[in-house]
C-alpha cells in the first residue's frame, strides 16, 4: 500500500512570500487549453478571470479584465454552445470575456462513456482537493513509469502511477514485502515531450509542461493567494511596530515606579 510523496515542483508561489510567475501561468493555461480541456472542465473559471490582477493574462494597461485584449482573443478562439435568441435554435458562437470555460462533455454520463467509465474530475480547485496540491499534480503528470513494474497486473483502461493513491497488493505477484507504491488511474499519460509549443521558447519537456499546468491549476484554485500573503505580511509588520510602541509606552509609564 501507500503512495510516493510528491516531488517538489520548486514553485515560485511556495512559502509565505511566494507569488505566481505570470509567464509560467500563461504556459500552464496553454497546456490546459490544448491538452487537459479535451477531458477536464474548469467550471468555476470564466475567461475574464484570466485577466484579473495576479492572473495569467493580467494587463495593467487594460481598463478591466473584460477589456483585456489577451482575454478577448483567448475567449474568441473558443466555441461556446448557446441558444439563438430569435429562433430558439442551438448555435455555436465565439466566446466573450464573460463566458465560463466550456465543458468538454454535457454531463457526467457522457464523460464516463468517453473515458472507459471514469469521469475526469473538474480541475477548478484541484490543488485544494488533493493532498500535496501543485506538487501532487506535477508529480502525477510527470510520474508515469515507461512500463509498470514487472509482476503488476494492470487491467485494460487502467494505468499505473506511483503517486496515485491505491493498494497494489491484489494485483502484485512479486515479493509481498515489496508491493509497489501507488495506484491505478483511468487517465492515460496525457503529456508527451514536445506536445505544446510555448510562445516564450521554454523547453516543452513533459517535466516542464507538468510543472506549468500544475502552477496554473494552483492559481485557479486560489487566485487571491498572492494578495492574501501580501495582506498578511502587512498585518505582521503593523503588529511588530505596534508591539514596539506598546513596549516603549509601558517603559515610560512605569518609569521610576518601584
- Residue number of the CB closest to ligand HEM reads 36
Q: Rounded to an integer, what distance in angstroms lies between the CA atom of residue 73 and that of residue 56?
A: 14
Closer by beta carbon to ligand HEM, 168 or else 191 = 191
Write out the three cell numbers for 132.
500535496
Of 48-87, which residues contact ligand HEM (CB under 6 A)? none
Pick from 120, 133, 162, 180 the residue near ligand HEM by CB under 6 A. 120
Q: Between 116 and 234, whose beta carbon lies closer to ligand HEM?
A: 116
User: Is residue 25 a contact residue for ligand HEM (CB under 6 A)?
Assistant: no
Whose Cβ is closer to ligand HEM: residue 46's or residue 161's?
A: 161
Q: Report the distance separating Cα 110 and Cα 76, nearest Å.
A: 26
- Nearest distance, CB of residue 44 and ligand HEM, angstroms: 15
Burial of residue 226 (CB within 10 Å: 0-12, 13-18, 19+) is middle
Residue closer to ligand HEM by CB (options 56, 190) is 190
Question: For residues 69 and 16, what is the distance between their CA atoms, to the nearest angstrom?
Answer: 32
Binders of ligand HEM in range 121-160 (CB under 6 A) = 121, 126, 130, 137, 140-141
User: In the structure grid, which three cell numbers stand for residue 258, read together?
Assistant: 518601584
Closer CB to ligand HEM, 71 or 123, in the complex: 123
Question: How far is the CA of 189 from the CAs of 36, 88, 127, 144, 253, in angstroms?
Answer: 11, 41, 19, 7, 69
d(CA 175, CA 25): 43
Enter the DSSP assignment of 180: P
In total, the chain counts a number of residues equal to: 258
Neighbours of 95 (CB within 10 A): 21
Q: Shortest gap between Cβ of 59 and ligand HEM (angstroms)?
A: 25
Binding pattern to ligand HEM, positions 182-221, x when CB under 6 A? ---xxx--xx---------------------x--------
Interacting residues with ligand HEM (CB under 6 A): 31, 35-36, 38-40, 115, 118, 120-121, 126, 130, 137, 140-141, 185-187, 190-191, 213
Amino acid at each position: 500500500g501507500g503512495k510516493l510523496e510528491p516531488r517538489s515542483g520548486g514553485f515560485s508561489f511556495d512559502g509565505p512570500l511566494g507569488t505566481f510567475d505570470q509567464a509560467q501561468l500563461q504556459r500552464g493555461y496553454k497546456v490546459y487549453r490544448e491538452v487537459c480541456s479535451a477531458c477536464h472542465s474548469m467550471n468555476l473559471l470564466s475567461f475574464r478571470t484570466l485577466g484579473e490582477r495576479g492572473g495569467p493574462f493580467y494587463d495593467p494597461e487594460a481598463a478591466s479584465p473584460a477589456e483585456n485584449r489577451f482575454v478577448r482573443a483567448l475567449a474568441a478562439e473558443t466555441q461556446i454552445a448557446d441558444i439563438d435568441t430569435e429562433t430558439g435554435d442551438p448555435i455555436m458562437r465565439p466566446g466573450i470575456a464573460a463566458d465560463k470555460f466550456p465543458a468538454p462533455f454535457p454531463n457526467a454520463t457522457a464523460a464516463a462513456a468517453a473515458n472507459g467509465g471514469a469521469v475526469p474530475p473538474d480541475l477548478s480547485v484541484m490543488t485544494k482537493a488533493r493532498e500535496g496540491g501543485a506538487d501532487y499534480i506535477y508529480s502525477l503528470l510527470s510520474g508515469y513509469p515507461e512500463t509498470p513494474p514487472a509482476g503488476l497486473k494492470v487491467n485494460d483502461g487502467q494505468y499505473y502511477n506511483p503517486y496515485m493513491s491505491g493498494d497494489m497488493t491484489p494485483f502484485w505477484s512479486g515479493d509481498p514485502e515489496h508491493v509497489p507504491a501507488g495506484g491505478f488511474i483511468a487517465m492515460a499519460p496525457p503529456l508527451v515531450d514536445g506536445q505544446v509549443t510555448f510562445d516564450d521558447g521554454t523547453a516543452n519537456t513533459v517535466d516542464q509542461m507538468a510543472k506549468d499546468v500544475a502552477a496554473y491549476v494552483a492559481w485557479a484554485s486560489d487566485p487571491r493567494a498572492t494578495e492574501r500573503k501580501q495582506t498578511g505580511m502587512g498585518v505582521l509588520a503593523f503588529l511588530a511596530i505596534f508591539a514596539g510602541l506598546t513596549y516603549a509606552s509601558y517603559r515610560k509609564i512605569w518609569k521610576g515606579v518601584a
